[in-house]
Amino acid sequence: MHIRIGYELTYECVQPVPMVLMLNVHPSRRDDLIVPDKMVVEPIVRLHRYHDTFGNLCTRLLAPVGQIRLSAEGIVRDHGEADPVHQDALQHAIEDLPDDVLVFLLGSRYCESDRLADSAWSLFSRTTPGWARVQAIVDYVHQYIAFGYEHARNTRTALDAYHERVGVCRDFAHLAIAFCRAMNIPARYCTGYLGDIGVPPCDLPMDFSAWFEAYLSGRWHTFDARHNVPRIGRIPVAYGRDAADVAISTTFGPNKLTNFMVHAEETDLNIAPG
């Protein structure tokens, strides 16, 4: 399967504004890029790319006064299969976890696992450790939060979502992550492309999607509390502790986002791997 991906973002700046952007497909899928998602910037400015501490590909630039337009088009080769389900995946004892996984047990800006610990243990202590426990958390969050773009708020934390019971995909992910960490299951936040492949099309404008991964049986497994069904064509852009680590743009000065478009759809374009 080939998936065409891309975005277009336009900012208005009243002064030069440094920006850090996280918009490229994650390096773990670099070999699947048939047409690289090269960032095009208008007007042309100097770009500096680096990998952050989570392995995400970041781009730094200085946006000039006025309008700056960022865009990319790429084609990704995908296996076309839904997210795998491994119901026998086991939960690790904390002392057996790899060193680099431990950070995903800690509370973070949007995932207050310490403040949700009592609720988590009350809700999930009787579930079977491992995949079944994570799935129980996903089932609960999926039913507990009412989804709606009108509920979007970039300051809402997992604790807020628990009290308010509304949110968008990032809120579903944050609450599920916080519950997992409270139950001693490492969980990391994921953002990327998720088109309507294999599901009825949505007539709402597309955005980058958020889901999470839990560390079980020695590897990371995909879970999606927003949709709660295995999906096809998930293309990651970035991984982190929560949304603060994987913002598509972090800006250091006054600006206004005046245009935002994202797309991901299956394409029948027959391009041989090159």
User: How large is the angle between the packed helices 117-124 and 131-144, nearest 10 degrees?
Assistant: 110
What CATH class has 2-79+248-267?
mainly beta
Average pLDDT score over residue span 243-256: 97
pLDDT at residue 270 greater than cutoff 70: no
At residue 125, what is the residue type?
S
Confidence of residue 269 (pLDDT cuts 50, 70, 90): low
Predicted confidence (pLDDT) per residue in 153-188, tens digit: 999 999 999 999 999 999 999 999 999 999 999 999
Note the pLDDT of residue 274: 41
pTM of the shown model: 0.94
Residue extents of the structural domains in the chain = 2-79+248-267, 94-243
Give percent above pLDDT 90 in the chain.
94
Average pLDDT score over residue span 45-67: 97
Confidence of residue 272 (pLDDT cuts 50, 70, 90): very low
Assign domain 94-243 one CATH number from 3.40.50.10190, 3.40.640.10, 1.10.20.60, 3.10.620.30: 3.10.620.30
Vertex 139: Cα angle to 136 and 142 (nearest 5): 145
Rounded to the nearest 10 degrees, how much is the dihedral formed by the CA atoms of 97, 103, 104, 105? 70
